[in-house]
Structure 1
C-alpha cells in the first residue's frame, strides 16, 4: 500500500497519507462474519464458498468457488471457517511475510486527506512483504472472473513444462535451463536497458534453454503480462513460466489466459492449504507448478503436500536479499534428498548461479534444472551467455 510521508517522524512512527485502511477489528472477526467485510472495512454481500469437505474431495476436476469477481482460496474456505484469521495460520506455519497491510491506529481526516500514524503493524518489514502488500492492492482492480473465463477458451493450449525439463536433462547431462526474461529487480535496478522480451526469448531458445521464465510484475521488475503474451504469440516453442507473486487463485486463471504453461508459488508467502488448492487448480488447467522454498521449514512443508513435481530452492534470502548457493546443498542432504529422489521430484536451483562451477556445484547436490536470470540478461548477447554459464554449448542437444 503506497504511503506519502509529509513530516519528519519520531522514532518508529511517521505521519502518512494513504488511500484506504483495513481495520484491525475486522481482521479478527470469526469466519461467519468475515465474508461480509471488504478490505476497506465496509459491509458487502457474502461470498459463496464451498465446504472444506467439498474442497478436499476434488482433484483434477476442481470445483472453484467464486463470486462474480473473486476466486475463494483454500485458506478462506478452511482455516477461516475453523475460526482462525490468516495471520494465525501464517504464524503456525512459520511464514514471516504478513499478508494484510494497513493495521494499527485509525485514520484522521484533514481536508481532502486521510492521515495515519505508521507503526510496525502497518509498515512493511522487508521488500518481499512490500511487494505482497502492493500485489494485494493491485488485485482490487482486476477483471471480474466471469469476464476472464471467456478469454480462457482463446488461450493457446498448455505445453509440457516438466517434460521439457526432463528431456533437456536427459539429453545434455547438465541441469535443464529455465532462462529468465527479466528487465529489472528491486535489489539490482535495471539489468538491461535495451530490453526486447521477444528477441531475448528467441535468443535463449536458440542457445539451449529448455523453458523460459517471464517476469510479469510491473512495479518492482518492470515486467508485464503483455511480455508473456507477446513471447507466446511470437512462435517461441519453449514452455513459459509465469514469474509472478501469486497470492490469489484469480492470478492463475489470468496467467493461463495470457499463455502461461507453468506458474510460481512461493512457500514463504502461501500457507499449505493455498499451495495445495492452487496446485489442484493448475492441474485442472494443465499448468505445471514450481513451488519455491528457502529454508528447511519450507522444504518440509512442501514435501508434505501431495502432487508436487517441481521444487525451486532459492539461494537468495527474500528478506535481506543475501545469496548463498550452499543453501541448495544443505536442503538436499539426508532424508529430504532421499524423499525427493524417491518421488522423482525435479529440483530447480535459483539465484547466485554465474559460472560453470556454480552449475556443477548445485548439480552435484541433486539439482536437475536451474533458473537463471541476472547472469544471462546482463551479457551483451544473452543467448550466447548460456554457453559461458555452462562452460559449453548446450544447444546442440536440445
Structure 2
C-alpha cells in the first residue's frame, strides 16, 4: 500500500463521521453555497506565460510541519497581491493538518482569486462541502478513483459549478480519463512510493494529453530552470506549495521565482 491508500482510507472514515455531524441538507443552507458564484479555474490559467497555483499548506506526510505559525488568510492575501492565478488550499486534516475552516477564512479575505480545495475527494458529499465554504474548484486524483467514480464526481462537481483539476501520477491513470470531458489535467511529479521528483516522467505523460486540455505540473517545483523547461514543453501552469511555505513572505517568493524564470527564458531567446 502507498501513502495515498492510507489517506483515502482515513478520508472515507472521516466522511462517514462528518455526514452524521452535518447532514447534506444543512450544508446546502449555508450562505456561500447559494450566494457564491464559482470562479473558473481554467480561465484563470489562460493568462499569458506560466500561471501559478500557489498553495496554502501547513504540513505534509513526507516533510511534517512546514510552516509554523500558520496564518492561512494572510498567506493567501500575499499570494493574491503577488499575482497568483489561483490558490490551492489543503483541507485534509490528519496528514496535512488542513481544514475547511481555513478555506472559508481565505474566501472571506480573497474574494476575487479562484480557490482550489485540495483534498482526497472520494464522495459527492465533499463536493457540497467545498461549495459551502466558498471553493471554486476541487482536485480529483485519478490514482485514488475508479474510472466510473472519477467520471461521476467530475460531472457532479460541474453541476455544482465547480471546476475540476484532474490529477494523475502515471501513464496508467490516463486510461481512466475522457479528455473530451475535462478542461485541466495535472501531473504530480512525486513518486507515491519513493517521494522522489521526476520531471522527465511528467513531461512524457503530458505528451499523451491533448492540447485542448490545460496542463498543470504539480509538486516538487522550486527552481526557475525547471519552470522554463516545463513552459517550453507546453505546460500552462504550476502548482507550488512547499517552496513558498518555507519563505518568510510566500507571495514575494512567488514573484521572485516567476521573475527569475522570465529572465532565464529571455536570455535563452537572445
Within 5 Å, give how 1:241-252 maps onto structure 2.
241-252=116-127
Structure 2 residue corresponding to 1:136, chosen from 12, 16, 34: 12
CA distance in 1, matches of 2:142, 2:34: 31
Match of 1:321 in 2: 195
Match of 1:364 in 2: 232
CA distance in 2, matches of 1:213, 1:185: 14
Higher relative contact order (CA 8 A, sep 6+): 2
Structure 1 residue corresponding to 2:186, chosen from 304, 307, 312: 312
Measured after TM superposition, the shift of residue 392 of structure 1 is: 4.2
**Does the alignment pair 1:389 with 2:251?**
no
Measured after TM superposition, the shift of residue 157 of structure 1 is: 1.7
Measured after TM superposition, the shift of residue 300 of structure 1 is: 3.2
Measured after TM superposition, the shift of residue 153 of structure 1 is: 4.4
CA distance in 2, matches of 1:179, 1:269: 23
Measured after TM superposition, the shift of residue 229 of structure 1 is: 0.4
- Give the secondary structure class of the aligned counterpart of 2:29: helix
Measured after TM superposition, the shift of residue 381 of structure 1 is: 1.1
CA distance in 1, matches of 2:179, 2:146: 11
Structure 1 residue corresponding to 2:56, chosen from 173, 181, 202: 181
Gap runs ≥5 in structure 2? 263-270
Which one is further off, 132-141 or 384-393? 384-393
Match of 2:160 in 1: 285
Measured after TM superposition, the shift of residue 253 of structure 1 is: 0.8
Structure number with bigger Rg: 1
Q: Which digits, 9 at most, give the CA deviation of each residue in 1:146-166, with x for residues without a partner?
A: 222222644522112211111
Match of 2:268 in 1: none
Match of 1:330 in 2: 204
Structure 2 residue corresponding to 1:213, chosen from 88, 100, 119: 88
Q: Which digits, 9 at most, give the CA deviation of each residue in 1:102-160, with x for residues without a partner?
A: xxxxxxxxxxxxxxxxxxxxxxx222111111111111112222222222644522112
Measured after TM superposition, the shift of residue 301 of structure 1 is: 2.5
Number of equivalences: 258
Measured after TM superposition, the shift of residue 299 of structure 1 is: 2.0
CA distance in 2, matches of 1:269, 1:377: 26
Alpha-carbon RMSD across the aligned residues, in angstroms, is: 1.6
Q: Please state which structure has a larger fraction of its residues in helix.
A: 2
- Give the secondary structure class of the aligned counterpart of 1:247: coil
Within 5 Å, give how 1:77-88 maps onto structure 2.
none
Within 5 Å, give how 1:1-398 maps onto structure 2.
125-142=1-18, 143-151=22-30, 153-166=33-46, 168=47, 170=48, 173=49, 175-302=50-177, 304-333=178-207, 336-337=208-209, 340-341=210-211, 344-392=212-260
Match of 1:38 in 2: none
Measured after TM superposition, the shift of residue 262 of structure 1 is: 0.3
Measured after TM superposition, the shift of residue 387 of structure 1 is: 2.5
Checking the alignment, whether the CA contact within 8 Å between 1:177 and 1:371 is kept in structure 2 is yes
Q: Which digits, 9 at most, give the CA deviation of each residue in 1:363-388, with x for residues without a partner?
A: 12221010000111101111110123
Checking the alignment, whether the CA contact within 8 Å between 1:328 and 1:365 is kept in structure 2 is no
Checking the alignment, whether the CA contact within 8 Å between 2:24 and 2:125 is kept in structure 1 is yes
Checking the alignment, whether the CA contact within 8 Å between 2:59 and 2:65 is kept in structure 1 is yes
Moved over 6 A (4+): none
- Give the secondary structure class of the aligned counterpart of 2:98: coil
- Give the secondary structure class of the aligned counterpart of 1:259: coil
CA distance in 2, matches of 1:207, 1:145: 36
- Give the secondary structure class of the aligned counterpart of 1:383: helix
CA distance in 1, matches of 2:62, 2:205: 24
CA distance in 2, matches of 1:272, 1:180: 27
